[in-house]
Homo-oligomer: A and B are copies of this chain.
Amino acid sequence: MTTSTKTQAKSTDVLISVDAMGGDAGPAAVVAGMARSAQKNPNIAFILHGPTDVLRPLVTRRKTLMNRVEFQDAQDVVLMQDRPAHVLRNGKGTSMWSAIDAVREGRATVAVSCGNTGALMALSMIGLKKLKGINRPALAILFPSRNPQGFNVMLDAGADVRADAQDLLQYAIMGSSYARNGLLLRRPRIGLLNVGTEQHKGHAELKEANELIRSFADKADFDFVGFVEGGDIPGDTCDVIVTDGFTGNVAIKTGEGTATLIGDLLQDAFRYTPLSRLASLLSLTSLRRLQKRIDPRRVNGGVFLGLAGTVVKSHGSSDATGVSAAVKLAFQLAQSGFSERLSARVAAVAEYASDSET
């Protein structure tokens, strides 16, 4: 059983539904991230899900959160090691379920969680249902890139290990809609991930998807650049990279792992000699600027697309900086009316597709 405590949030506020539990850094990091967002953004307010007895003292300590947090008590927690199937059977009392339920009921349009990705996906599917015309919802992530907007959208990053040509078309449509609303790109460039850019390379289903996505580019208002390679995920040949959830998950984790390794080696390098230690002091600002640019915590807001409602997945290891970035993304998407726009776009394309068949 969950009970809700109302606050005096202003009617102009955008309400974000936040799961306080399940992240590696615990609820204190989540509340700290909310406070950081609230300080920068006067129009944001929260519904906070978790054990109220634990959460209220954390919130009370933050002046910027005064009168901007509605508590929704939920005593259970989804653990990182819980299997999705287990959570589906036993998850109704958890903070994660409660956070999604607030979106289902229309009390918020976007939910944020740092918890177990598989469980979040499973509960979101049950709670929010798939959009009409969508077969497999997808997890879209932002990856640092050479493009002017600073990062690219990549989907699916691991919601489903499989995707056929129709699914990849839907990912292209959802990804371009997300890039339009989240990155403010008027006409996003879409690329289809393959092992080479030549027409004859890759699996048969990719060749089919290549034709299919090309034929919908104008209708769905994006530019299709055709096949792209792994190097284009951090590159500037396109803004949205479309792939299946298996390949996408491996690619993003390889990229993140490489970035972290280089960051650590860089720190080691500067520790090596007195001269390099001095250099690192002199270059602190430059290095911090770089770190900010490639910090996975700042671009860690994965978004589940294809559901009747938007769910932002923050990294499990998110600290206050990471949570604040995910909350900011949730706010942008809620304020732009993204959920409604995506739903309309998918419906229009589905209608067009069935028209062309008859």
Contact = CB atoms under 8 A, between A and B. Distances in A.
A249 B278 contact: no
A146 B261 contact: yes
A267 to B, nearest CB: 10
Interface string A267-283: 00110110110111111
Interface residues of A, number: 64
A272 B286 contact: yes
B258 A259 contact: yes
Interface string A179-211: 000000000000001011010111100000000
A294 B158 CA distance: 28
A247 interface: yes
Given A246-B203, A258-B234, A261-B234, A290 B266 contact: yes
Given A269-B289, A294-B262, A257 B283 contact: no
Interface stretch (A8-16, A40-48, A224-232): A224-232
A344 interface: no
A279 B266 CA distance: 14
A118 B201 CA distance: 10
A132 B306 CA distance: 48
Contacts of A254: 230-231, 233-234, 251-252, 254-255, 258
A250 B193 contact: yes
Nearest to A275: B282
Interface string A154-192: 000010011000000000000000000000000000000
**Copy number in this complex?**
2
A88 interface: no
B276 A252 contact: no
A254 B191 CA distance: 14
Given A81-B198, A255-B258, 19 more contacts: A146-B261, A162-B203, A195-B246, A195-B250, A229-B253, A230-B251, A230-B254, A230-B255, A231-B253, A233-B254, A235-B257, A250-B251, A254-B254, A254-B255, A266-B266, A269-B290, A275-B285, A276-B282, A276-B283
Sort A-B residue pairs by CB-CB distance and give the 10 closest, nearest first.
Answer: A230-B253, A279-B283, A231-B257, A279-B282, A230-B254, A276-B286, A269-B286, A230-B250, A195-B249, A251-B254
A100 to B, nearest CB: 22
Given A258-B258, A286-B276, A250 B247 contact: yes
